[in-house]
Amino acid sequence: MDKTVLSFYCDDTSPYVAGADAFRTFLDFVKSEGIAGESSVILGIGAEAHGLLSRPTTDNERAYIEQVQRAFECGVDTHMELMTHGGLYDFERDCVPQDAIHEGLWLHEPEVPVEAYESYFGHVIEEGEKIGVRFTGVTWPGCSCDACTRRYRELRDSGVTHVNPNAWQALLSLATRGKFRGRTVPCFVHPDEEHYGARLTAADGDYGVYDLIANAGDWFGIWENDAARVSADYYISADGESGRIVELVRAGAPYCIFYAHWQGLNPATGVGWEAFKQVVGRVRKLLGDQVVWMRPSEYTDQKSGQSPIFGIVNGCL
Ligand SMILES: [Zn+2]
């Protein structure tokens, strides 16, 4: 393929940061521009205060779910950022226990077996099914709380620097059972501008789990909704001569995937929304037929179709 694929991940999406109308405006924009990317759905975010999105209690929650149901047809994939983007949910007791380990850290804990991950992801998928939401992939819920920071340091010191491979296996098993929307499951763990690629982490025939590494940053306000962290020029300058997207297109890179956060990106309160629209407009005008927008799962589906791999691998494609 000659064209550079463009895509994005949007983290932390929920109806509480900005209402359902904001998500509808976002989807309408994506659809009308013919662009594509991903936006996460966190069914148990703030569960203590709001309950679960699978049991909506407010008009805003119901309206938000309606929008999530149409996301895919608008060009937007749906990642789980696990269940809560916080403490591990206890599906039996239907709560987040006080002392629960945080989900992102739990993905890295080396002792967790495949079955535990598979059961947990399976529960999240079932919660989605209750409201007609199908997941396409997974985003690692990052956390810098004291407990996570301390434990991540301990793990690093003992040589554990990656997600537990059992988590990849569990995702693959669920994919082969048709629990995800597609054959492949793209995952967003860490951005890496230098060593990026669609890293196949588990595969079975043309089913595959990919660590699809973002190679462009978040200059749409990040999770702090910070105006100092907004720059359309970071992606593409007004004359189309510089910026990360331009750089990757000129280098013949297979893709440019950037990431954003709903706090900064959303059209209602996000300081990055105008910049996002500006970037999309500049790309259309200045890069035109050199790029093609794709949902992350569309990209990994295509990768997998090109070269089905049998057995488990940990390499780069
Ligand atoms: Zn934490």
Give the domain CATH number at 68: 3.20.20.370
CA of 96 to the centre of ligand 1 (A): 13
In angstroms, the Cα distances linking 231 to 221, 241, 243 are 8, 15, 10
Chain-centre distance of CA 107, in angstroms? 15
pLDDT score for 313: 40
Reported as a pLDDT band with limits 50, 70 and 90, residue 1 is low
CA of 89 to the centre of ligand 1 (A): 14
pLDDT at 240 over 60: yes
pLDDT digits 0-9 by tens, 133-185: 999 999 999 999 999 999 999 999 999 999 999 999 999 999 999 999 999 99
Residue 247 lies in a domain: yes
Residue 11 lies in a domain: yes
pLDDT score for 311: 38
Residue 89: closest CA among 39, 62, 51, 38: 51
Tell me the residue range of the domain where 274 lies.
Answer: 4-86+118-141+164-306
CA of 152 to the centre of ligand 1 (A): 10
pLDDT, averaged across the chain: 95
Q: How many domains does the structure of the chain reveal?
A: 1
pLDDT score for 81: 98
Residue 311 lies in a domain: no
- Averaged pLDDT for residues 272-293: 97
CA of 143 to the centre of ligand 1 (A): 5
pLDDT at 305 over 50: yes
pLDDT at 298 over 50: yes
pLDDT at 315 over 70: no
pLDDT at 223 over 50: yes
- Does this model's pTM top 0.75? My answer is yes
Share of the chain above pLDDT 70, in %: 96
CA of 147 to the centre of ligand 1 (A): 6
Reported as a pLDDT band with limits 50, 70 and 90, residue 232 is very high
CA of 74 to the centre of ligand 1 (A): 33
pLDDT score for 304: 84
pLDDT digits 0-9 by tens, 77-106: 999 999 999 999 999 999 999 999 999 999
pLDDT score for 307: 56
Reported as a pLDDT band with limits 50, 70 and 90, residue 231 is very high
CA of 142 to the centre of ligand 1 (A): 8
Residue 128 lies in a domain: yes
CA of 141 to the centre of ligand 1 (A): 9
Residue 187 lies in a domain: yes
pLDDT score for 2: 82
Residue 313 lies in a domain: no
Measured between alpha carbons, how far is 93 from 103 in angstroms, rounded to an integer? 17
- Averaged pLDDT for residues 229-252: 98
Residue 200 lies in a domain: yes
Residue 107 lies in a domain: no
